[in-house]
Structure formats: structure tokens, C-alpha cells
């Protein structure tokens, strides 16, 4: 539907109905921008899981977008926020769910995700149970993919929908990220330098297009919880330009990354983010082609749980990181991160045992830093 030829106000009843009811809709706004969306469960969905408004209000939603200045698609909904522009008041996202709407297991999963978010984000942006707030997020169980959410606060009560089988930290914190104001990392304008869209989805610009009117904070972040995962997207074997995180982690994370926290602090400035608990940093120097182990050749004993190491080698180098476990007679690699860059992150669900970090310089010499969290 081309609103440059026929303005919204002049659309006939049948065309208006199609805007609200067609499974997939493509409209060209007066600015010339083409917008594609789906009507799913009574909501207008763009980019896979981001909501623009209720389908029955499609004409009003499009009218708002149609009036936006050329080159932008409105002040919210399609844009991650500019620095300082996050729009939840008091650095708080009030949330609730209706009594009986979630099973005990689902409620426990949301509680765990909120607890994880708040532990990581500190006072930057907190999720607080408050069914009486004027503007708030309502957790609901629903279909149409794993989850969906508006981007940022839209005023009033806004749904955050999770499918019954998707109550896990990775889905919940991803959708909470949208509600906070995050767009998809894999839809950044510069994403082609870092990822490729799976061949089955490359033509699906409704869900996998680039969003060049969104704000970006920091370099491409492979560790971001706002990435999709294979088979939808893949890390490029040779990324072009600087990046954060590790290509091997793409789509595997279930919490806010350092890059996500940086972006959150940028759009909601003034809060404090606690350092990761239990952290230890090892440093040393390594020549090209050589390897070393930390914290020493005999390793350390570990009771079990997530074991994470983030390695930063000298600028321009290619340092790789391996996690090794003692079998009783030999060291064996249980996890590794071997991107062509100088930063690597390994995150491993470790059982009880003896472990050590093995650091290898594929190319380059100099000082490295390995941050370990248990
Ligand atoms: Zn999403």
C-alpha cells in the first residue's frame, strides 16, 4: 500500500481492514520509507518480535509514523534511544502479571530473570514489581514466536509476551531489553561487517532487514543478548572492523553483556553497575606462537557452575582462549574461543573439577589481560 499515492485518510474501508488483519502488510510512508509488519495475536509486529501497536489501531499507528520527519520512523518503537534518551521514569521499569496468568514455574522464571537483570544493571535501570504504576510492563503468556515486546515505554500498560515453552533467561532478558529500549544487535546498520543472515532468511527483510535509523552505542557486540542465533544469523569468519565479545558466543548468551550494560548506562546515565561478582584478573605477556596457562600449570579446583573468561590481547594481535579440565591423567580442552581478533570470551557450564585457562598467541606479542568470573 502506497500512502504517497493515497493518504491514510483517503483509504477505503477494505484497505483499512487489510492494515489491521492481513498477516503481512507492506506500506510505503509519505517519506518514502517502506515499512513491513505482521499482524500477530492482535499486535503489529516488526523485525520478528518488536511491537508497534494493536492491530485494530493500525491506521493510528501508521498515521503517527507517517507524520514523523523524513529519515526517521518516529520517536520510539523503531529506534533504540539516543544517549540519555531512555524513557522509563526514575530509572525503573514497573512490572506485574495478572493473578493466575503465569504458572508457578513461569513466575519463578520471570523472577529469576528480573533478579539477574537487577544484579547486573544495578541502579542503571531496575525492574520493580508494581501493578499500580501508570506506565508498566505486563508479562503475559502467548504464542507467535518465542516472545515479543514494545521498544521502550509507550505509556500505560504494555504487554511483554512469552510463549509457554520459552520461559528462560535468554528469551526473557532479550524481551526485557526491548522493553528497556534496545533494538536488535543483528539489525545494526553495520551488521554486514560482522554477521551474515542465514540463507533461508536473507530475503526476509521484514524480520532481518537493517535498521539504519537506530542509534548504536559501542562497536558490534557478539555477546549481546539482543542478537538472534543460528540458523537465523551467523558470525562472519573474518569480521571487518572492531567488535566486542566473541563471535563464538553469538546467540548463546542468557544475560546482559558488557556491551549491553554500556548501552544501558548510555541511554539511562547516572546509575551504577556493580562489578561482576567473584572476578579475578590475570595478566601476563606472550610472544607470537607461544602459549601459557593461568592461574598456573596445576590449575584451580572448582565446585561447578558457570565459568567465564574474557581475554584481551595486545591491539592488532590474534590471541585465543581455551578452558581445560584435568581428566585425572591429562588436560583436555572443554571450551574455546578462537576468533581472528584480540578479544575472546569463553563461558562454560562447568561441573565440579580442576580447570585452567590456556592462552595462545596465534599472532602478535605483548601483554594480555584475562578476566575470570565464577
Ligand atoms: Zn527481539
As a whole number, mean pLDDT of residues 30-35 equals 74
Which own/partner pairs from 201-205 qualify as long-range (CB within 8 Å, at least 24 positions apart)? 201/231, 201/232, 205/36
Give me ligand 1 centre to Cα 146, in Å.
9
Instruction: Report pLDDT digits (tens) over 244-260.
Output: 889 999 989 999 998 89
Give me ligand 1 centre to Cα 174, in Å.
6
Residues acting as catalytic residues: 175
Give me ligand 1 centre to Cα 207, in Å.
10
Sign of CA dihedral 213, 215, 221, 222: negative
As a whole number, mean pLDDT of residues 347-368 equals 92
The closest of 162, 161, 170 to 260, measured between CA atoms, is 170
Lowest mean pLDDT among 60-74, 173-187, 284-298: 60-74
Question: What is the rounded distance in angstroms from the CA atom of residue 168 to the CA atom of residue 255?
Answer: 10
- Confidence (pLDDT) at 315: 85
As a whole number, mean pLDDT of residues 353-359 equals 94
Of all residues in the chain, the percent with pLDDT exceeding 90 is: 53
Q: Is 183 labeled as ligand-binding?
A: no
Give me ligand 1 centre to Cα 228, in Å.
7
Higher pLDDT, 42 or 324: 324
Question: What is the rounded distance in angstroms from the CA atom of residue 248 to the CA atom of residue 68?
Answer: 39
Higher pLDDT, 83 or 111: 111
- Cβ count within 10 A of residue 346: 24
Give me ligand 1 centre to Cα 171, in Å.
9
As a whole number, mean pLDDT of residues 277-292 equals 83
As a whole number, mean pLDDT of residues 143-170 equals 92
Q: Is 178 labeled as ligand-binding?
A: yes
- Confidence (pLDDT) at 79: 47
CB burial of residue 109 (10 Å; 0-12, 13-18, 19+): buried
| Ion ligand 1: protein residues whose beta carbon lies under 5 Å | 49
| Three-class secondary structure assignment of the chain | CECCCCCHHHCCHHHHHHHHHCCEEEEECCCCCEEEEEEECCEEEECCCEEEEEHHHHHHHHHHHHHCCCCCCCCCCCCCCCCCCCCCHHHEEEEECCCCCCCHHHHHHHHHHHHHHHHHHCCCCEEEECCCCCCEEEEEECCCCCEEEECCCCCCEEEEEECHHHCCHHHHHHHHHHHHCCCCHHHCCCHHHCEEECCCCCCCHHHHCCCCCCCCCCCEECCCCCCCCCCCEEECCCCCCCEECCHHHCCCCCCCCHHHHHHHHHHCCCCCCCCCCCCEEEEEEECCCCEEEECCCCCEEECCEEEEEEEECCCCCEEEEEEEEECCCCEEEEEEECCCCCEEEEEEEECCEEEEEEEEEEECCEEEEEEEEC
CB 291 within 8 A of CB 327: no
C-alpha cell at 8: 491514510
CB 154 within 8 A of CB 77: yes
Higher pLDDT, 275 or 39: 39
Instruction: Quickly state the pLDDT bin for 80 (edges 50, 70, 90).
Output: low
C-alpha cell at 109: 522464571
Q: Facing residues of 196 across strands?
A: 234
pLDDT at 81 over 90: no
Of all residues in the chain, the percent with pLDDT exceeding 70 is: 95
- Confidence (pLDDT) at 278: 59
pLDDT at 74 over 70: no
C-alpha cell at 262: 554500556
Give me ligand 1 centre to Cα 205, in Å.
15
Higher pLDDT, 165 or 273: 165
- Confidence (pLDDT) at 71: 40
pLDDT at 87 over 80: yes
Lowest mean pLDDT among 44-48, 157-161, 354-358: 44-48
Q: Is 186 labeled as ligand-binding?
A: no
- Confidence (pLDDT) at 68: 56
Give me ligand 1 centre to Cα 166, in Å.
13
As a whole number, mean pLDDT of residues 17-46 equals 85
Tell me the pLDDT of the chain averaged across its residues: 88
CB burial of residue 18 (10 Å; 0-12, 13-18, 19+): middle
- Confidence (pLDDT) at 72: 42
Give me ligand 1 centre to Cα 163, in Å.
13
Instruction: Report pLDDT digits (tens) over 9-22.
Output: 888 889 889 999 99
CB 211 within 8 A of CB 187: yes
As a whole number, mean pLDDT of residues 232-239 equals 94
Higher pLDDT, 113 or 212: 113
Give me ligand 1 centre to Cα 244, in Å.
19
Amino acid at each position: 500500500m502506497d500512502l504517497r499515492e493515497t493518504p491514510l485518510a483517503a483509504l477505503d474501508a477494505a484497505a483499512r481492514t487489510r492494515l489491521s488483519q492481513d498477516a503481512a502488510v507492506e506500506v510505503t510512508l509519505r517519506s518514502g520509507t517502506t515499512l513491513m509488519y505482521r499482524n500477530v495475536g492482535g499486535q503489529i509486529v516488526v523485525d520478528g518480535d518488536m511491537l508497534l501497536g494493536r492491530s485494530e489501531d493500525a491506521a493510528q499507528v501508521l498515521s503517527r509514523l507517517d507524520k514523523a520527519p523524513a529519515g526517521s520512523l518516529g520517536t520510539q518503537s523503531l529506534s533504540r534511544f539516543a544517549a540519555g534518551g531512555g524513557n522509563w521514569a526514575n530509572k525503573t521499569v514497573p512490572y506485574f502479571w495478572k493473578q493466575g496468568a503465569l504458572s508457578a514455574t513461569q513466575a519463578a522464571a520471570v523472577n529469576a530473570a528480573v533478579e539477574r537483570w537487577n544484579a547486573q544493571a544495578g541502579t542503571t535501570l531496575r525492574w520493580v514489581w508494581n501493578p499500580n504504576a501508570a506506565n508498566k510492563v505486563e508479562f503475559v503468556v502467548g504464542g507467535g514466536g518465542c516472545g515479543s515486546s514494545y521498544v521502550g515505554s509507550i505509556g500505560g500498560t504494555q504487554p511483554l509476551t512469552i510463549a509457554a515453552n520459552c520461559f528462560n533467561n535468554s528469551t526473557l532478558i532479550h524481551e526485557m531489553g526491548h522493553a528497556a529500549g534496545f533494538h536488535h544487535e543483528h539489525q545494526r546498520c553495520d551488521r554486514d561487517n560482522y554477521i551474515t543472515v542465514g540463507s533461508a532468511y536473507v530475503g526476509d527483510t521484514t524480520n532481518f532487514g537493517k535498521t539504519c535509523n537506530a542509534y548504536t552505542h559501542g562497536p558490534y557486540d557478539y555477546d549481546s543478548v539482543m542478537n538472534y542465533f543460528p540458523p537465523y544469523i551467523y558470525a562472519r569468519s573474518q569480521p571487518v572492523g572492531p567488535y566486542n565479545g566473541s563471535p563464538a558466543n553469538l546467540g548463546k548468551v542468557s544475560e546482559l553483556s558488557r556491551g549491553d550494560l554500556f548501552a544501558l548506562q548510555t541511554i539511562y546515565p547516572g546509575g551504577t553497575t556493580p562489578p561482576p561478582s567473584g572476578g579475578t584478573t590475570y595478566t601476563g605477556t606472550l610472544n607470537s606462537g607461544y602459549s601459557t596457562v593461568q592461574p598456573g600449570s596445576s590449575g584451580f579446583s572448582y565446585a561447578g557452575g558457570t565459568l567465564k573468561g574474557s581475554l584481551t590481547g595486545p591491539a592488532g594481535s590474534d590471541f585465543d582462549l581455551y578452558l581445560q579440565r584435568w581428566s585425572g591423567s591429562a588436560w583436555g580442552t572443554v571450551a574455546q574461543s578462537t576468533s581472528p581478533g584480540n578479544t575472546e570470551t569463553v563461558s562454560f557450564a562447568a561441573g565440579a573439577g580442576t580447570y585452567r585457562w590456556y592462552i595462545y598467541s596465534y599472532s602478535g606479542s605483548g601483554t594480555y589481560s584475562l578476566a575470570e568470573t565464577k
